[in-house]
A and B are shown apart, each in its own frame.
Chain A
């Protein structure tokens, strides 16, 4: 085969892939049944995640939002149904190929000991390396860029175990950035952080989406922040999707009442214009928990 023919073929293949990627959702669950041992969390769930947007899964505690995220991230094997990644069933890819397309940051990753921040972040390059193709200068450049984007360049030599909670979370996000996957799943990336650091992380997520065109799926607990930083909210509960749509369509008093058992006002956030959820005062009689009076 001549060089030009091979090039032409590769080009055609790339174009075909680009066409498929443009039409196919980044992630798609079809007839998905998820269960731990015998307790079924979802049965026959259909949900597709559009490429290039920020989608946030919300729901009450135990509603299965993390479970769904794990299934999208192939950490949890579905009992039935398929997850498609860029139009193809995820099982059909080689494991490294998936890792180049999809990154997931779990709730509680383990911080290794005696490992510098830079070393931790460079582990994100693993799917791009192999025995025959070990470290390249590009790997180092990508790691530097990830450290800079997360404001960790000055801490690159520090032991990861000595970082504060906010710094450590940024280090994990830097690892995900270094992985260069176009689809990123984040499981409660703001938990354990103070409000200012939560905003840092979410601003970072938004810039990854806007500047790199990354598809982001995350699980968040704070409804107002979810409304502010997401293009689409998916409310899960009772083993199905309870509501799905733009923040203003989903964060309504009715849906909050049925999905979260929450009486709340929804007002425009004065600073961003996104929906702000203001929980109503609970009258004593309906309050679920009370200190027993003597």
Chain B
């Protein structure tokens, strides 16, 4: 996927030559509200979906504090953390994707290209494999240490990518190329670690790498929530500036944008959100890539609307997880669902249009 980022051409992707219904703020608002409602409904379905039978009225009653002790346990302790984690992870990935795609002016630019995901993966896999394996280190490492190591890996690798891309300022094309290189190198080390590992550790690592919500508890929800609460207002505040930077660095400088400061801020927001999401669930494929593009098409704007992209991400992750638990047999990780369902949906969206889209 990352290879196509280069051939696609930076800036070529977001261009379209047709007459448009103008990007009205109202349309963006409507799409955002609808996505919010959809996320709430799918969250409710996510609580109901699963092996033990539970009806929607049961779930609503329990959420309002009037459920039986049995329902209380299932809903509040087992299902709710998973659903909330899904919503938060999806929102974080959707917003991070919208930010990176917009600042890079390229719909193929996901936070992955900043080295966040590959760094987090290397950190987590190294912890699983080198720390003597998940079994000997035990649940303590898995629930607390692993997310921490993943965040650390994400931060270090994206800082290195940003540092290497710096040449009196960071230009997004250079950043993407270096990010692709770093992703390949880190991926190589991760694969090496897995190849060297004991079979049980390799399995644990592979499971983490797919991205799954099966291990989450309330403890893994809080960090993501805090990150979202802190970062989302900053990201939204950069919205106008992101719009101006679509005109190129030179025009935005002329219009009074401190381009480098803005870019660092946007990248930091995307990195923190992605790192938080990945630490909770592992890398859930395709969400940061697909959610902003779906939101952009629904809102018919030139760039992905930030909040709507986050909510579409929430719908995708929670819906995917509910689908995996309620409909499919066995324990299918949500990362597989998002890739299998998300990618064809995007292709369908693209082929439905008569215009040529150089995505």
Q: Is the CB of B20 within 8 A of A126?
A: no
Contacts of B136 in A (CB 8 A): none
Interface centre among A96, A102, A110 (most CB of B within 10 A): A110
Known: A110-B246, A115-B23. A159 touches B257 (CB 8 A): no
Question: Which B residues lie within 8 Å of A110 (CB)?
Answer: 11, 105, 246-248, 251
- Would you call B60 an interface residue if the criterion is a C-beta within 8 Å of the partner chain's C-beta atoms? no
- Chain B residues with CB under 8 A of A120: 247
What are the residues of chain B within 8 A of A21 when measuring CB–CB? Answer: none
User: Which one of A70-78, A209-217, A284-292 is at the B interface?
Assistant: A70-78
Q: Is A250 in contact with chain B by the CB < 8 A criterion?
A: no
Query: Are A74 and B16 in touch, CB under 8 angstroms?
Result: no
Contact B250 A75 (CB under 8 A): yes
Chain B residues near A100 (CB-CB < 8 A): 256
Which residues of chain A from 109 to 124 have any CB-CB distance to chain B below 8 Å in the complex? 109-116, 119-120, 123-124
How many A residues touch the partner, as a band? 35 or more
Known A-B contacts A106-B250, A110-B105, A114-B16; the reply to A126 vs B256 at CB < 8 A is: yes
B14 at the interface (CB under 8 A from A): yes
Is B23 touching A109 in the complex (CB atoms < 8 A)?
A: no
Contact of A159 with B17 at beta-carbon distance under 8 Å, contacts A114-B300, A114-B301, A127-B255 already known: yes
Q: Give chain A residues whose Cβ lies under 8 Å from the Cβ of B254.
A: 73, 75, 99, 102-106, 179
CB-based nearest B residue for A124 = B255
Query: Given A127-B255, A179-B255, does the pair A104, B250 have CB atoms closer than 8 Å?
Result: yes
Task: Output the residue of B11, B254, B303 with the most chain A CB within 10 A.
Answer: B254
Assess whether A126 is in contact with B18, with CB atoms less than 8 Å apart: no
For the complex formed, measure the closest distance between the CB of B189 and the CB atoms of chain A, giving whole angstroms: 32
A258 is an interface residue with CB less than 8 A from chain B: no
Partner of B256, one of A96, A111, A114, A175: A96
CA distance A70 to B243 in the complex (A): 22
Q: How far is the CA of A103 from the CA of B250 in the complex (A)?
A: 10
**Complex Cα distance A175/B253, Å?**
14
Distance in Å from the Cβ of A106 to the closest Cβ of chain B?
4
Asked if B19 CB lies within 8 Å of chain A CBs, one says yes
Query: Within the complex, which residue of B249, B255, B302 is in contact with A112, where a contact is CB–CB below 8 Å?
Result: B302
CB pair B248–A108 under 8 Å, yes or no, is yes
B69 within 8 A of A: no
Question: How far apart sit A123 and B243, CA to CA, in the bound complex (Å)?
Answer: 9
A116: chain B residues at CB < 8 Å are 20, 22
Q: How far is the CA of A258 from the CA of B256 in the complex (A)?
A: 39
A221 to B: closest C-beta gap in Å: 19
Residue of B nearest to A187 (CB): B250
Contact, CB under 8 Å: A95 / B257: yes
**1/0 contact string of B36-74 vs chain A (CB within 8 Å):** 000000000000000000000000000000000000000
Residue of B nearest to A115 (CB): B302
| B3 lies within 8 A of chain A by Cβ | no
Please name all residues of chain B whose beta carbon is closer than 8 Å to the beta carbon of A96 when the two chains form the complex: 256
Interface residues of B in 106-151 (CB under 8 A from A): none
**Of all chain A residues, which has the CB nearest B11?**
A110
Whether A98 and B19, one on each chain, are in contact in the complex, defined by CB atoms closer than 8 angstroms, is no
Chain A residues, Cβ within 8 Å of B251: 105-106, 109-110, 175
Asked whether, in the complex, the Cβ of A75 is within 8 Å of the Cβ of B253, the reply is: yes
Q: Does A161 contact B (CB under 8 A)?
A: yes
A158 at the interface (CB under 8 A from B): yes
Do A161 and B247 have beta carbons less than 8 Å apart?
A: no
Chain A residue, CB-CB nearest to B13: A113
With both chains docked as a complex, state the minimum distance between the C-beta of A214 and any C-beta of chain B, in angstroms: 15
Q: Does B329 contact A (CB under 8 A)?
A: no
Q: Which residues does chain A contribute within 8 Å of B247, judged by CB atoms?
A: 109-112, 120, 123
Residues of chain A contacted by B240 (CB below 8 angstroms): 126
CB distance A114 to B244 under 8 Å? no
The docked-state distance in angstroms from the alpha carbon of A104 to that of B257 is: 13
Is A109 a contact of B248 with CB atoms below 8 Å?
yes
B279 shortest CB reach to chain A, Å: 32
Chain A residue numbers with a CB within 8 Å of B16 are: 113-114, 159, 161
Contact of A74 among B22, B246, B253 (CB under 8 A): B253
Partner of A113, one of B14, B22, B168, B249: B14
With A114-B300, A126-B240 in contact, is A106–B255 under 8 Å at CB?
no
Report Cα–Cα, A126/B246, bound state, in Å: 14
B residues near A159, Cβ cutoff 8 Å: 16-20
Residues in chain A near residue B249, CB distance under 8 A: 75
Q: Name the contact of A161 in the complex, choosing from B15, B22, B250, B303 (C-beta under 8 A).
A: B15
Pair B18/A106 contact, Cβ less than 8 Å? no
- Within A148-195, the residues touching B (CB, 8 Å) are 157-159, 161-162, 175, 179
Is B258 in contact with chain A by the CB < 8 A criterion? yes
Which residues from chain A contact B14 at a C-beta distance below 8 Å? 112-113
Q: Which residues of B contact A161 (CB under 8 A)?
A: 15-18
Given B11, B250, B255, B302, which contacts A114 in the complex, CB threshold below 8 Å?
A: B302
Cα A113 to Cα B256 in complex, Å, equals 21
* Beta-carbon contact of B19 and A106 below 8 Å: no
Within 8 A of B (CB), among A65-103: 70, 73-75, 77, 95-100, 102-103
Interchain CA distance A157-B23 in the complex, whole Å: 11
Q: Which residue of B lies closest to A102 (CB)?
A: B254
Q: B305 CB to closest chain A CB, in angstroms?
A: 12
Residues in chain A near residue B257, CB distance under 8 A: 95, 126
Quick check: B256 and A95 within 8 Å, CB to CB? yes
Which residues of chain B from 225 to 272 have a CB within 8 Å of any chain A CB? 237, 240, 243-244, 246-251, 253-258
In the complex, the answer to whether B168 meets A114 with C-beta atoms within 8 Å is: no
Whether B15 lies near A113 (C-beta < 8 A) is yes
Contact A99 B15 (CB under 8 A): no
| Pairs across A and B, CB under 8 Å, 16 listed | A74-B253, A77-B168, A97-B256, A99-B255, A100-B256, A109-B248, A113-B15, A113-B16, A114-B300, A114-B302, A126-B240, A126-B255, A126-B256, A159-B19, A159-B20, A161-B15
Q: Which residues of A contact B (CB under 8 A)?
A: 70, 73-75, 77, 95-100, 102-106, 108-116, 119-120, 123-124, 126-127, 131, 157-159, 161-162, 175, 179
